[in-house]
Structure 1
Amino acid sequence: MKKLILCAATVAAFSACHQGGGSSSGTDSTLNIAFGNYSQHFIDDLWKENPGWATEVGFHKYDSVLIVPDSAANAASLAFSARHLDSLKAYSLDKLTDANKIDYQLIENYLKSNVWGINELKSNQWDPSSFNVSNTFATILNENYAPLETRLRSFYARLRNVPAYYAAAKAQISNPVPELQQLAIDQNNGGAPVLEKDFVDSLNKTNIPAEEKKEMIARAKTAAAAMHDYATWLGALKPANPRSFRLGKALYEQKFNYQIQSAFSAQQIFDSAVARKQFVHKEMTRISRELWPKYFGTTPLPTDSLELIGRMIDTLSVRHVKPEEFQAAIEKQIPELVKFIKEKDLLYLDPTKPLVVRKEPAYMAGVAGASISAPGPYDKGGNTYYNVGSLQGWPADKAESYLREYNHYIMQILDIHEAIPGHYTQLVYSNQSPSLIKSLMGNGAMIEGWAVYTEQMMLENGYGNNEPEMWLMWYKWNLRTVCNTILDYSVHVNNMSKEDALHLLTKEAFQQQAEAEGKWRRVSVTSVQLTSYFTGYKEIIDLREAYKKKMGKDYQLKAFNEKFLSYGSAPVKYISQLMLK
């Protein structure tokens, strides 16, 4: 589920022990001040180069600008990266503070990734879905950061380059991936109403003069027509040799290196995931055998271990809330998690930053469940929301299937992952530092890995009273993380078939057929991101073991958790270097 930009207000209670930001021996204070100034200059330059990204994170100076993605724009982007890679050479990494070291490495990785994407990956040639203007326009329309008329005039100015934008897209696309071709058609046709309907509806709520409105509406219709025309053009495009959606080993390893920023290679992470799956299956078999007499009496156990596990999971999954109680059950769970963490003294929770549980807003609706919405780095005072999907109006059989998946046990694990001490708690800690770099370029593997790690950490400390039922369901949930990595690497590098992929997900990870079909669609239009959950989790567990060994009798879990979080949303490999040095 989408996690919005990582930002929350400063945690005052930790200002004195912010290990990630303090100076260390050998640092040069003058150089660090200069680097801080450079970082701000880099961000200013970044927004000029990426105005749409700026808008989406709450920086609105360039709302009216839409860059046409042609060869000139690519050349400008390469020049931007070359210029800033050269600027970084002025700062000796070993003389920067720990916090600045991480910012330096995040900037450097972003710049090198940008160059690689343009020169090597070249997704602009085979991924038509990378061309879509609707999201930034929707942000301008829906976010209440300025008076409506001001936002609409920025929207109008930005519309000017839409036809040229799609003309440039057509000029670059060659032998597109069919799955991405269809995705682009669906997304652009789906996004066009933002321009041709939502914009017009908003205009009608203002006092903008009629003649000016007429001009604005005409431009919006022209822009929407360009979007529809692009979709129509893609629909008629029948390349002789369409590119496979499978990335291939060389590109996959490189993309993994830039996007995940792990200390391991993609191949090593895949091998670890395969080993983890074997371990989890063994544990699930052991627990299922232990539970069998409690639920099945003297009925003989299935001889096949996967069948045994599956029957046990199906039996436990019938315990769930009623559809109308879904949100209330989640709300009730939050204070119980807080109480447990305090009783076990696992980490500090800032009481001044409460989490607001709310029904999922209509514009986010479509998939029930849970997600976190945090304010962007330019709106640190905003609320953080735990969005809970509604099952209202669902057919009884669909609601029952969903609630069996998010049953009594899984719902609690979901709350740990999404809220406390998972994503929400990490958000609060992440923004003790005023560093915009960490907020803007937060590492997805660390963010997702922390949330997965906290599930295990809570159960290790007795959450759920060590009930075997809870452990069995957590292992099922953990298999999602593990099999995400196995699936992604197997499909993009080892050419796994759809049939084998669905078998992996339904028979070995105990997922529903519809859920598995959805994951296949996801892996056919994305690559690498699915590995972030397991990679981050593995690296955090590895670091905890190494840190425990380093500290010896002085090791405390609370100290580990708080120190780890103090470095912000940085790649775990960089945090490890600093915690173990």
Structure 2
Amino acid sequence: MTTHTTRRLPMLTRCALASLLTLGAWLPVPALAAAAPPAAKLQQTRQVPAAFDAEVDAFLKAYWALLPEAAVAAGEYAAAARLPAPTAANRQAQLRFSEAWLQRLARLDRARLTPAQQGDLALLQNHLRGSIWSLREFRSWQWDPSEYNVAGAFGELLNKDFAPLPRRLALIERRLQQVPAYYRAALAQLQEPSPEHLRLAIQQSEGALATFATEIPQALQQAQQQAQLPAAAAQRLARHNAAAERALQAYIAALKALDARQTAAGTGRSFRIGQAAFEAKFGYDIQAGVDARGLYERALQHKEALHQRMSELSDRLWPGLFGDAAKPAERLDKIARVIEKLSANHVSPAGYVDEIKAQIPALAKFVEQHDLLALDPTRPLQVRETPAYMRGVAGASISAPGPLDPQGATYYNVDPLDKYTPAEAESYLREYNHWVLQILSIHEAIPGHYLQLLHANKSPSKVKALFGNGAMVEGWAVYGERMMMEAGWGDMDGQPSPEMWLMYSKWNLRTVCNAILDYRTHVLGQGQAEAEALLEREAFQSKTEASEKWHRAQVTAVQLSSYFAGYSEIMALREQLKAQRGAAFSLKDFHTEFLSHGSAPVKMVSELMQQQGKRR
């Protein structure tokens, strides 16, 4: 999978807060009387859930102050003018915050909370424990300079219409003044970064230069043309912007010099995080009903089942494609020949983005006609080229508004193909051929990430909407692909299309091989040759796609496992509820009920849905 969603809130290691613990009053947890009359007990029963909601509000108030960029991503702009520098003092403030809130939340009487609130409590505790582990054990702030990039929040403030342009520019100006200190502090944190993360940071930071060189000046010019900004204010903002741009240029130059020194000396941390860190990160990030090793073994079994299904489809397609020509004796060779033949059917490089734009209304119409899930025509999806500062990890992604920004735009980011040579572009387009490009848009848009996040933002639980579980988010998008195929997407004359099903199986195989690649790379020490053999020979991916996926496996860990983890658990839950509910089972009701719990881990959603079913 070359896709991801970009709305998830960061762990506490991304930014920090000075004087955090002075913010907000500590709300007391109500003491419960040992013996009380029935009326008083009823009053207490109501007070405990209400007290929890008050605690969540207090937590979020402090959290937004701790992480202004996470606040902006969620649609909360009260602290948007602040850009905390990533210093050691701020990391200590983050640790104090996490430890203090874990103690505070532990004082709540979990047994008296509603099932939904118990889930919220578990999510908050997992998030805080994961943050402590990340700061103390994982320590990516030392070796991953790609964590230090200010462009994202600047882009949010420029593109979101939460306030008139002059007000947003005032926030931007205040943030600009803090950029030099931010990058000085970021550089001071680095200790033998991995070469792969170092070069990713250089690439993305060079992309971020456009924020200061082009985007902010354009917004400033627009405000001046509309007579919304006095000349003196415009000149002052321009000076701060130029200083911020110079600070970023200096940071890039320092990273390049560091890369040169490490290359000459043969130093730098390995990008592999190892078994212990992988299992720990998997536990905090995925929150599945299986550990990392168990998911890896499940993926191996699923790969074999897909190969068998693809072999059968290839047998059906062979005569129409190759006539009487003899089939290869080796199963994988046969499948590869059929896929190679079909993959010649793809759009031109110039028509790539336009084809994606044309698919969105067709997918929406199909979902409506087949009554699969409710749409929201008031929240349109916008297809755009991926901003330069976001490139270098995935070829497509969704940037969704936060739950606190209900009117924000959702963007379907598509990397332009101009970085490729003609041969590389052809390889890429063969990978994203006529059939696969449709599945890509199902995954990213409808009914995938775009639609899931619209429903998540409407969840009554702030915690489940804000602290989304990546495996659930990615798993839903993968499940959406399978669900659309089962509903008849791509059928010809009312009959399942073997071409579409073969290419869907190839795409689903990527999900499976993502998990295999992830585990083998970081735990089993797999090298590039072995990785590319898995991707090209067993997953039938193009050389360009395999090369980019190997790069992604190096600069991420655990995230590639999230797709298969979430998908396999959603499918298992659906089949379990179908068996339990029998004729009363409704696919649309299942989808609506599942998504109503925000972006909670599938294991948690399963428990909540099972409880709801018992109360019916």
- Please classify the TM superposition score into its range, dividing by the shorter chain length: 0.7 to 0.9
Aligned to 1:122: 139
State whether residues 428 and 544 of structure 2, in contact with CA within 8 Å, keep that contact through their aligned partners in structure 1. Answer: no
Range that drifts further, 266-275 or 421-430: 421-430
State whether residues 156 and 220 of structure 1, in contact with CA within 8 Å, keep that contact through their aligned partners in structure 2. Answer: yes
State whether residues 402 and 457 of structure 2, in contact with CA within 8 Å, keep that contact through their aligned partners in structure 1. Answer: no
Aligned to 1:349: 374
Aligned to 1:3: 5
Aligned to 1:249: 275
Residue 568 and residue 273 in structure 1: after superposition, are their counterparts in 2 closer, same or farther (change >3 A)?
same
State whether residues 357 and 388 of structure 1, in contact with CA within 8 Å, keep that contact through their aligned partners in structure 2. Answer: no
Aligned to 1:311: 337
State whether residues 4 and 375 of structure 1, in contact with CA within 8 Å, keep that contact through their aligned partners in structure 2. Answer: no
Aligned to 1:260: 286
Aligned to 2:175: 158
Are residues 1:503 and 2:520 paired? no
Q: CA deviation at 1:33?
A: 1.3
Q: CA deviation at 1:39?
A: 1.0
Residue 558 and residue 64 in structure 1: after superposition, are their counterparts in 2 closer, same or farther (change >3 A)?
closer
In 2: Cα distance, 1:341 partner to 1:190 partner:
37
Q: CA deviation at 1:452?
A: 0.9
After superposition, the C-alpha distances for 1:213-245 in whole angstroms (9 at most, x for unaligned) are 444444333333332223222333335642100
After superposition, the C-alpha distances for 1:376-397 in whole angstroms (9 at most, x for unaligned) are 2222134545567777999876
Structure 2 residue identity aligned to 1:65:
R
Are residues 1:572 and 2:589 paired? no
Are residues 1:39 and 2:56 paired? yes
1:224 corresponds, among 221, 245, 252, to: 245
Aligned to 1:12: none
After superposition, the C-alpha distances for 1:135-190 in whole angstroms (9 at most, x for unaligned) are 22333334333233322232222233333323322332212111112222333343
Q: CA deviation at 1:544?
A: 2.0
After superposition, the C-alpha distances for 1:501-539 in whole angstroms (9 at most, x for unaligned) are 111111111111111111111111111111111110011
After superposition, the C-alpha distances for 1:229-285 in whole angstroms (9 at most, x for unaligned) are 232223333356421000100011111111112121111111111111111111111
Structure 2 residue identity aligned to 1:283:
R
> Counterparts in 2 of 1:139-288, with a 5 A limit?
139-195=156-212, 198-205=215-222, 206=224, 208-237=229-258, 238-239=261-262, 241-288=267-314
1:58 corresponds, among 75, 88, 94, to: 75
Q: Percent sequence identity over matched residues?
A: 43
Are residues 1:89 and 2:119 paired? no
Are residues 1:451 and 2:468 paired? no
1:48 corresponds, among 40, 65, 74, to: 65
State whether residues 324 and 392 of structure 1, in contact with CA within 8 Å, keep that contact through their aligned partners in structure 2. Answer: no
State whether residues 457 and 465 of structure 2, in contact with CA within 8 Å, keep that contact through their aligned partners in structure 1. Answer: yes
Structure 1 residue identity aligned to 2:608:
L
Are residues 1:102 and 2:119 paired? yes
Q: CA deviation at 1:298?
A: 1.3
In 2: Cα distance, 1:303 partner to 1:154 partner:
65
Aligned to 2:404: 378
Range that drifts further, 474-483 or 433-442: 433-442
In 2: Cα distance, 1:38 partner to 1:292 partner:
62
In 2: Cα distance, 1:472 partner to 1:59 partner:
44
Larger RCO: 1 or 2 (CA < 8 Å, sep 6+): 1
Residue 518 and residue 399 in structure 1: after superposition, are their counterparts in 2 closer, same or farther (change >3 A)?
closer
In 1: Cα distance, 2:508 partner to 2:501 partner:
10
Q: CA deviation at 1:48?
A: 0.7
Structure 1 residue identity aligned to 2:380:
V
Structure 2 residue identity aligned to 1:564:
F
Aligned to 1:520: 550
Residue 291 and residue 115 in structure 1: after superposition, are their counterparts in 2 closer, same or farther (change >3 A)?
same
State whether residues 318 and 407 of structure 1, in contact with CA within 8 Å, keep that contact through their aligned partners in structure 2. Answer: yes
In 1: Cα distance, 2:272 partner to 2:99 partner:
30
After superposition, the C-alpha distances for 1:430-477 in whole angstroms (9 at most, x for unaligned) are 233233322221111111111111222232344423222222111101
Aligned to 2:463: 437
State whether residues 54 and 62 of structure 1, in contact with CA within 8 Å, keep that contact through their aligned partners in structure 2. Answer: yes
Q: CA deviation at 1:343?
A: 5.6
Q: CA deviation at 1:547?
A: 2.4
In 2: Cα distance, 1:194 partner to 1:372 partner:
20
In 2: Cα distance, 1:321 partner to 1:193 partner:
29
> Counterparts in 2 of 1:472-483, with a 5 A limit?
472-483=502-513
Aligned to 1:70: 87
Q: CA deviation at 1:296?
A: 1.5
In 1: Cα distance, 2:215 partner to 2:137 partner:
38
2:322 corresponds, among 296, 310, 324, to: 296
In 2: Cα distance, 1:362 partner to 1:477 partner:
22
Structure 1 residue identity aligned to 2:287:
Q
Q: CA deviation at 1:4?
A: 4.7
State whether residues 193 and 224 of structure 1, in contact with CA within 8 Å, keep that contact through their aligned partners in structure 2. Answer: no
State whether residues 386 and 414 of structure 2, in contact with CA within 8 Å, keep that contact through their aligned partners in structure 1. Answer: no
In 2: Cα distance, 1:532 partner to 1:269 partner:
10
In 1: Cα distance, 2:352 partner to 2:180 partner:
45
Match of 1:44, SS state, is helix
In 1: Cα distance, 2:516 partner to 2:386 partner:
34
RMSD in angstroms over aligned alpha carbons?
3.1
Q: CA deviation at 1:484?
A: 1.0
Are residues 1:30 and 2:47 paired? yes
Residue 42 and residue 573 in structure 1: after superposition, are their counterparts in 2 closer, same or farther (change >3 A)?
same
Q: CA deviation at 1:427?
A: 2.6
In 1: Cα distance, 2:213 partner to 2:364 partner:
46
Residue 325 and residue 157 in structure 1: after superposition, are their counterparts in 2 closer, same or farther (change >3 A)?
closer
In 1: Cα distance, 2:203 partner to 2:313 partner:
45
Residue 160 and residue 99 in structure 1: after superposition, are their counterparts in 2 closer, same or farther (change >3 A)?
same
Are residues 1:421 and 2:447 paired? yes
State whether residues 547 and 579 of structure 1, in contact with CA within 8 Å, keep that contact through their aligned partners in structure 2. Answer: no
Match of 2:345, SS state, is coil
After superposition, the C-alpha distances for 1:377-423 in whole angstroms (9 at most, x for unaligned) are 22213454556777799987666544433333223323332333322
Aligned to 2:35: none
Q: CA deviation at 1:566?
A: 2.1
After superposition, the C-alpha distances for 1:46-97 in whole angstroms (9 at most, x for unaligned) are 0111112212332221122111211210111111112211221233333322
Structure 2 residue identity aligned to 1:415:
S
State whether residues 458 and 596 of structure 2, in contact with CA within 8 Å, keep that contact through their aligned partners in structure 1. Answer: yes
Match of 1:466, SS state, is coil
In 1: Cα distance, 2:196 partner to 2:54 partner:
44
In 1: Cα distance, 2:185 partner to 2:395 partner:
38
Q: CA deviation at 1:198?
A: 4.0
In 2: Cα distance, 1:68 partner to 1:359 partner:
33
Aligned to 2:29: none
In 2: Cα distance, 1:333 partner to 1:197 partner:
31
Residue 354 and residue 273 in structure 1: after superposition, are their counterparts in 2 closer, same or farther (change >3 A)?
farther
Match of 1:360, SS state, is strand
